[in-house]
């Protein structure tokens, strides 16, 4: 009996030792996961990240809504700020422990106003929107009742999805689902916004908000004319400056702030910051009544409450820190020169393509992008986008004035912010034009083999040996050229 009891005790002791050993091993493993680098803990994922880094380095990035952000921005995005929940506004949080988060958000707000030379007595700002689309939706939610009316530039004419795009058979954007939207248009011949027709339509439609904003329109907007139309029909003027926010900060394109009631923007396009959104709103006196008494703006609480708790939860504090350092960069002389170079590069790119016989919508550009109308050379936007990507030039297919379908567009949109960040100047645009021209001519040649269908066009590039060689040769030229220019950020990822 004693022997059996001793054996049982010994067995239990061994089990306890094994349990302690297991707990110790688990703790070590846990610490290893918490403190190891991603290239050690997840080499499969890290290999894909490095492939994307290689693609960015070896290609020419010409998507107008993309840019390469700075090392300080990337450093902010990967900080302990990510760990903190901060629902609410500075000084009005729902959780404790936000004393330093509050200081960071207030700094971002202060710098955002400074970047655009705004008086804090006249303008406020919300830096919490996750991106541009949620920022726009927050404005509509705060200022327009459900199924209230908005007007924005039609998507095929250079507007954005969030400005209310829908088709005859489907409401594409959530904006068109929850609000009643009616687009305004450009003149098909000139490609320019038809302000007189916009005014006539607004008088009939009586929108709550008119949106002065673009996604692919290469001329400055007439904010004064927008203001006049809004005043006539009693609408708010919302300027969506997502694409041109860097140009506006640098003072190299007309600013919407003189005329707008609300200004929304992303921070990752020409502004060259993190992927995020910002909303500026008017404060103070809006107008006077018949007795001369002031009528005050009431936008601040409406927009802030629409952002949270209306549409979002806790803000991304690491991104707000990145916005803060982006806005600081935007006040420097170097940033102004950068924005001037963006426009100079776009103009040089535009002229080079025009000299090659390509048609540019609106006849040119005054901003960071241009829209190439390929109808006169017999190419679709989809084929052009595909062949350019095959030779390591990234752009996007885009509708041109007169297109019937956003899914089958006739043009491509080209932008210069990312190339300018890497140090390309006007003379380099001449070489970029040569690459684009060679690629598009090659696309025409491939089309004679493949026929009109995109699927056959892609198959020919993939399977025809002569075509594969020509594409590979041009890709090698583009990548050799691209690698001459540095990229900001971390060297390896």
pLDDT for residue 4: 60
End-of-domain residue from the set 330, 354, 385: 330
Same domain? For 313 and 164 the reply is yes
Same domain? For 308 and 440 the reply is no
Same domain? For 188 and 108 the reply is yes
Q: Is residue 47 part of a domain?
A: no
| Beta-strand pair 209-213/236-240 | parallel
Pair of tokens at residue 161:
């999805």
**Per the structure, how many domains does the chain have?**
2
Q: What is the pLDDT of residues 424-483, one digit of tens each?
A: 999 999 999 999 999 999 999 999 999 999 999 999 999 999 999 999 999 999 999 999
- Cα separation, 48 vs 61, in Å, equals 19
With beta carbons less than 8 A apart as the criterion, state whether 236 and 185 touch: no
**Using omega within 30 degrees of 0 as the cis cutoff, is the peptide bond preceding 309 cis?**
yes
Same domain? For 249 and 106 the reply is yes
Q: Is residue 427 part of a domain?
A: yes
End-of-domain residue from the set 312, 330, 348: 330
pLDDT for residue 11: 60
pLDDT at 167 over 90: no
What is the model's pTM?
A: 0.92
Closest residue by Cα to residue 350 from 269, 432, 271: 432
Tell me what the mean pLDDT of segment 170-182 comes to: 93
3-state helix, strand, coil in the chain (%, to 5): 50, 15, 35
Same domain? For 375 and 436 the reply is yes
Same domain? For 326 and 355 the reply is no
Q: What is the pLDDT of residues 230-284, one digit of tens each?
A: 999 999 999 999 999 999 999 999 999 999 999 999 999 999 999 999 999 999 9
With beta carbons less than 8 A apart as the criterion, state whether 414 and 64 touch: yes
Same domain? For 120 and 80 the reply is yes
Same domain? For 230 and 302 the reply is yes
Instruction: Indicate the pLDDT class of residue 168, thresholds 50, 70 and 90.
Output: confident
Residue 395 annotated among the catalytic residues of the structure: no
End-of-domain residue from the set 330, 356, 386: 330
pLDDT for residue 5: 53
Q: Is residue 266 part of a domain?
A: yes
Tell me what the mean pLDDT of segment 282-294 comes to: 88
pLDDT for residue 7: 61
Same domain? For 323 and 362 the reply is no
Q: Is residue 444 part of a domain?
A: yes
pLDDT for residue 381: 97
Backbone φ and ψ of 428, nearest 5°: -70, -30
pLDDT for residue 29: 66
Q: Is residue 48 part of a domain?
A: no
Instruction: Indicate the pLDDT class of residue 25, thresholds 50, 70 and 90.
Output: confident
Proportion of the chain above pLDDT 90, given as a percent: 87
Domain harbouring 301, CATH code: 3.40.640.10
Proportion of the chain above pLDDT 70, given as a percent: 96
Instruction: Indicate the pLDDT class of residue 407, thresholds 50, 70 and 90.
Output: confident
pLDDT for residue 30: 67
Q: Is residue 14 part of a domain?
A: no
Domain harbouring 395, CATH code: 3.90.1150.10
Q: What is the pLDDT of residues 296-340, one digit of tens each?
A: 999 999 999 999 999 999 999 999 999 999 999 999 999 999 999
Same domain? For 288 and 372 the reply is no
Q: What is the pLDDT of residues 74-115, one digit of tens each?
A: 999 999 999 999 999 999 999 999 999 999 999 999 999 999
Of 76, 160, 163, 216, the catalytic one is 216
Find the domain containing 372 and state its range: 338-483
Strand order through the sheet with 359-360: 359-360, 369-373, 411-415, 396-398
With beta carbons less than 8 A apart as the criterion, state whether 396 and 63 touch: yes
Q: Is residue 144 part of a domain?
A: yes
Residue 268 annotated among the catalytic residues of the structure: yes
pLDDT at 144 over 80: yes
pLDDT at 341 over 90: yes
pLDDT for residue 404: 83
Of 160, 268, 316, 368, the catalytic one is 268
pLDDT for residue 328: 98
Instruction: Indicate the pLDDT class of residue 343, thresholds 50, 70 and 90.
Output: very high
Same domain? For 269 and 342 the reply is no
Q: Is residue 257 part of a domain?
A: yes
- Cα separation, 124 vs 142, in Å, equals 15
Same domain? For 185 and 242 the reply is yes
- Cα separation, 279 vs 44, in Å, equals 39
Tell me what the mean pLDDT of segment 54-61 comes to: 98
What integer best gives the mean pLDDT of the chain?
A: 94
Closest residue by Cα to residue 220 from 185, 247, 190: 247
């Amino acid at each position: 009996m004693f022997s059996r009891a001793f054996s049982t005790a010994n067995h239990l002791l061994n089990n306890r030792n094994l349990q302690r050993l297991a707990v110790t091993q688990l703790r070590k493993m846990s610490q290893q996961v918490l403190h190891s680098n991603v290239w050690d803990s997840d080499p499969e994922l890290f290999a894909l990240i490095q492939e994307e880094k290689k693609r960015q380095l070896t290609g020419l990035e010409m998507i107008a809504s993309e840019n390469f952000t700075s090392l300080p921005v990337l450093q902010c995005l990967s900080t302990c700020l990510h760990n903190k929940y901060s629902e609410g506004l500075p000084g009005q949080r729902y959780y404790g422990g936000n004393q330093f988060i509050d200081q960071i958000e207030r700094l971002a707000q202060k710098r955002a106003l400074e970047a655009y030379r705004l008086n804090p007595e006249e303008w406020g700002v919300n830096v919490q929107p996750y991106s541009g689309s949620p920022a726009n939706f927050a404005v509509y939610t705060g200022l327009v009742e459900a199924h209230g009316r908005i007007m924005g530039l039609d998507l095929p004419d250079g507007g954005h999805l969030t400005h209310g795009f829908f088709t005859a058979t489907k409401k594409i954007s959530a904006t068109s689902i929850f609000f009643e939207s009616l687009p305004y248009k450009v003149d098909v011949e000139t490609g320019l916004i038809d302000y007189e027709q916009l005014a006539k339509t607004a008088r009939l439609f009586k929108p709550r908000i008119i949106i002065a904003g673009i996604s692919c329109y290469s001329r400055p907007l007439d904010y004064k004319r927008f203001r006049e139309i809004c005043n006539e029909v009693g609408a708010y003027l919302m300027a969506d400056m997502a694409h041109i926010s860097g140009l506006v900060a640098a003072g190299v394109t007309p600013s919407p702030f003189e005329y707008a009631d609300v200004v929304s923007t992303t921070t990752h396009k020409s502004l060259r910051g993190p992927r995020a959104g910002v909303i500026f709103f008017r404060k103070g006196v809006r107008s006077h009544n018949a007795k001369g008494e002031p009528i005050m703006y009431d936008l601040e609480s409406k927009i802030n409450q629409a952002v949270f708790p209306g549409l979002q939860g806790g803000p991304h504090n690491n991104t707000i820190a990145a916005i803060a350092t982006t806005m600081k960069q935007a006040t420097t002389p170097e940033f102004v020169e950068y924005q001037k170079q963006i426009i100079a590069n776009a103009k040089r790119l535009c002229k080079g393509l025009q000299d090659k016989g390509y048609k540019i919508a609106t006849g040119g550009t005054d901003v960071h992008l241009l829209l190439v109308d390929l109808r006169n050379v017999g190419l679709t936007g989809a084929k052009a986008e595909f062949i350019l990507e095959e030779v390591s030039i990234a752009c996007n297919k885009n509708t041109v004035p007169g297109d019937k379908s956003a899914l089958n567009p006739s043009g491509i949109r080209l932008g210069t912010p990312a190339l300018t960040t890497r140090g390309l100047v006007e003379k380099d645009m001449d070489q970029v034009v040569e690459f684009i021209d060679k690629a598009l001519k090659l696309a025409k040649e491939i089309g004679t083999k493949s026929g009109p269908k995109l699927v056959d066009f892609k198959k020919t590039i993939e399977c025809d040996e002569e075509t594969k060689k020509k594409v590979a040769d041009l890709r090698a030229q583009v990548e050799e050229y691209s690698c001459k220019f540095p990229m900001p950020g971390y060297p390896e990822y």
